[in-house]
């Protein structure tokens, strides 16, 4: 009996010939990630571990300041300084301060810190993002991260795997975000709890790396332990452009056993919208637009859709136009490199001329931290990954999730709008 892609990676990192779902293993890690919030707790725990004076490998830890930077108040500045001081003390090689990094899950693949076959853990639930490049990546609590800082290994229960097969070409104004929203809607927010989602099919094979990142990022929205793609030539080329370190490309065995197999026909899929207040409350755009849903804010960015491809699509829709006067549009490029590329291509100017505000790269409004939190009764259409009560600010606010194209089209009208209608009108 063969093993799934996740099982193959975990077995190798545990030094075992094979592993099975439910088995508890100790596994060596290739990279440990923390942001300023998770690091603050992890550092405190590490200092309480007897004899734990140094991290296990200063080249295998990444620290990224991205949640409350630039600091919004003295307390957030204190937390950022705590992590910075730790990075200096431990001589951490991969420390990304504001202005030189961005959102952790955008920065790490961008900087070549993720490769196929690796095992990566992070103090953030969306660490599963790195499965886009064929790595096993999962979020953990800060206590586990502290142990990983010191030992370079983690305790993991091997998850069973769900194989999802996508077939069919993407339709007009349908993107990876729409495919993943459909997936979360199909599985439910607890439909893959502590499972590995293994992505397959002609649809995902054709996706760009950015599209795969978007899908792997939202595996956690279905409760998954991790989401993972096989590393094909496209993924390997992406990684080799950014690092020359060796890595192992794993593949699921032909006779691998999956808990279940789900098939999704993408050919007939229209743009999708997740309505309040869960990411699995997903509907086709045709259903959502039957009634006018007026907006106060449109947010474009985050670790899900803050990439240069996303900003290009938004700029294409907004070029030469003005956003609706009744709402504000906030754009957070995913990283400093994305910000600079958007500046070079004139995208930032296009967005500014349309009436958008472009923030410093960071998490900010996505989790209701700063730089765009919602007030009482406000309604937001967002490219982010979660829309729970209070996620982006006031508990009386409403958050809808959609692709960058749907968000851009809606920014022009002031209400949730089918991007296919806007594209046709301005063809």
- The tens digit of pLDDT for each residue in 228-252 reads 999 999 999 999 999 999 999 999 9
The mean pLDDT value for 167-189 works out to 97
Considering the domain architecture, whether residues 281 and 258 belong to the same structural domain is answered as: no
| Residues across the chain | 427
Residues whose CB is less than 8 angstroms from the CB of residue 363 and which lie 6 or more positions away in sequence, other chains included: 35, 66, 67, 103, 302, 303, 332, 369
Residue 382 in this model has a pLDDT that exceeds 60: yes
Which has more confidence, 280 or 371?
A: 280
The mean pLDDT value for 377-398 works out to 94
Considering the domain architecture, whether residues 338 and 242 belong to the same structural domain is answered as: no
For residue 425, the model assigns a pLDDT of 63
Region of poorest pLDDT, from 269-273, 303-307, 364-368: 364-368
Considering the domain architecture, whether residues 109 and 253 belong to the same structural domain is answered as: yes
Region of poorest pLDDT, from 55-59, 77-81, 174-178, 420-424: 420-424
What's the CATH number where 341 sits?
3.30.499.10
Q: Of 240, 264, 288, at which residue does a domain stop?
A: 264
pTM above 0.85, yes or no: yes
The mean pLDDT value for 272-285 works out to 97
Considering the domain architecture, whether residues 260 and 283 belong to the same structural domain is answered as: no
Q: How confident is the model at residue 397 (pLDDT cuts 50, 70, 90)?
A: very high
For residue 50, the model assigns a pLDDT of 83
For residue 303, the model assigns a pLDDT of 94
For residue 427, the model assigns a pLDDT of 52
Q: What span, in angstroms and rounded, lies between the C-alpha atoms of 8 and 249?
A: 10
- The tens digit of pLDDT for each residue in 32-73 reads 999 999 999 999 999 998 888 999 999 999 999 999 889 889
Query: Count of domains in the chain?
Result: 2
The mean pLDDT value for 258-276 works out to 96
Query: 232: exposed, middle or buried (C-beta count within 10 Å: 0-12, 13-18, 19+)?
Result: middle
For residue 365, the model assigns a pLDDT of 85
Spatial strand order of the sheet with 328-332 comes to: 282-284, 272-274, 398-401, 379-382, 297-301, 328-332, 357-358
- Please name every residue paired with 94 in a beta bridge, in sequence order, or none if there are none: 62
Q: What span, in angstroms and rounded, lies between the C-alpha atoms of 318 and 10?
A: 45
For residue 206, the model assigns a pLDDT of 96
Q: Of 232, 264, 296, at which residue does a domain stop?
A: 264
Considering the domain architecture, whether residues 235 and 278 belong to the same structural domain is answered as: no
Considering the domain architecture, whether residues 129 and 151 belong to the same structural domain is answered as: yes
Which has more confidence, 1 or 332?
A: 332
Region of poorest pLDDT, from 118-122, 140-144, 403-407: 140-144
For residue 1, the model assigns a pLDDT of 81
Mean pLDDT, the chain, integer: 95
For residue 229 the two structure tokens come to: 């793609």
Considering the domain architecture, whether residues 208 and 331 belong to the same structural domain is answered as: no
The mean pLDDT value for 391-416 works out to 96
Considering the domain architecture, whether residues 380 and 315 belong to the same structural domain is answered as: yes
Answer yes or no: are the C-beta atoms of 351 and 318 closer than 8 Å: yes
For residue 243 the two structure tokens come to: 């690092």
Range of the domain at 359: 272-425
Region of poorest pLDDT, from 5-14, 137-146, 415-424: 415-424
Considering the domain architecture, whether residues 160 and 305 belong to the same structural domain is answered as: no
Residue 426 in this model has a pLDDT that exceeds 60: no
For residue 368, the model assigns a pLDDT of 83
Q: Of 202, 235, 264, at which residue does a domain stop?
A: 264
- Please name every residue paired with 274 in a beta bridge, in sequence order, or none if there are none: 282, 401
Considering the domain architecture, whether residues 77 and 33 belong to the same structural domain is answered as: yes
Considering the domain architecture, whether residues 250 and 364 belong to the same structural domain is answered as: no
Q: What span, in angstroms and rounded, lies between the C-alpha atoms of 58 and 60?
A: 6
Region of poorest pLDDT, from 15-29, 185-199, 356-370, 390-404: 356-370
Considering the domain architecture, whether residues 331 and 351 belong to the same structural domain is answered as: yes
Q: What span, in angstroms and rounded, lies between the C-alpha atoms of 396 and 276?
A: 11
């Amino acid at each position: 009996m063969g093993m799934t892609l996740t099982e193959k990676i975990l077995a190798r990192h545990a030094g075992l010939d094979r592993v099975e779902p439910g088995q508890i293993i100790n596994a060596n890690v290739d990279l440990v990630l923390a942001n300023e919030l998770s690091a603050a707790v992890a550092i405190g725990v590490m200092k309480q571990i007897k004899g734990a004076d140094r991290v296990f490998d200063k080249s295998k830890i990444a620290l990224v300041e991205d949640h409350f930077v630039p600091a919004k108040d003295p307390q957030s500045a204190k937390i950022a300084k705590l992590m910075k001081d730790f990075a200096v003390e431990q001589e951490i090689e991969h420390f990304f301060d504001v202005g030189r990094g961005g959102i952790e899950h955008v920065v790490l693949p961008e900087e070549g810190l993720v490769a196929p076959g690796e095992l990566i853990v992070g103090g953030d639930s969306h660490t599963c993002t790195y499965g886009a490049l064929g790595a096993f990546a999962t979020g953990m609590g800060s206590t586990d991260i502290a142990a990983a800082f010191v030992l370079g290994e983690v305790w993991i229960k091997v998850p069973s795997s769900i194989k999802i097969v996508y077939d069919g070409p993407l339709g007009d104004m349908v993107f990876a975000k729409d495919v993943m929203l459909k997936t979360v809607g199909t599985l439910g927010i607890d439909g893959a709890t502590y499972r590995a989602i293994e992505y397959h099919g002609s649809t995902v094979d054709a996706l760009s790396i950015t599209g795969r990142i978007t899908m792997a990022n939202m595996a956690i929205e279905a409760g998954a332990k991790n989401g993972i793609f096989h590393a094909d030539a496209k993924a390997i080329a992406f990684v080799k452009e950014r690092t020359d370190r060796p890595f192992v490309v794993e593949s699921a065995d032909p006779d691998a056993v999956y808990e279940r197999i789900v098939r999704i026909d993408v050919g007939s899929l229209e743009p999708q919208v997740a309505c309040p207040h869960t990411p699995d409350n997903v509907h086709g755009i045709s259903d959502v637009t039957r009634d006018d849903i007026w907006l106060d804010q449109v947010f474009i960015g985050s670790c899900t859709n803050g990439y240069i491809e996303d900003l290009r699509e938004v700029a294409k829709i907004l070029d030469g136009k003005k956003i609706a006067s009744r709402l504000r549009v906030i754009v957070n490029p995913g990283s400093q490199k994305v910000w600079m590329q958007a500046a070079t291509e004139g995208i930032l100017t296009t967005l500014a001329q349309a009436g958008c505000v472009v923030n410093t790269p960071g998490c900010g409004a996505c989790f209701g931290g700063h730089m765009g939190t919602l007030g009482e009764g406000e309604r937001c259409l967002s490219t982010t990954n979660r829309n729970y009560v209070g996620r982006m600010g006031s508990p009386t606010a409403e958050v809808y999730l959609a692709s960058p194209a749907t968000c851009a089209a809606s920014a022009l009208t002031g209400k949730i709008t089918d991007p296919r209608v806007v594209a046709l009108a301005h063809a």
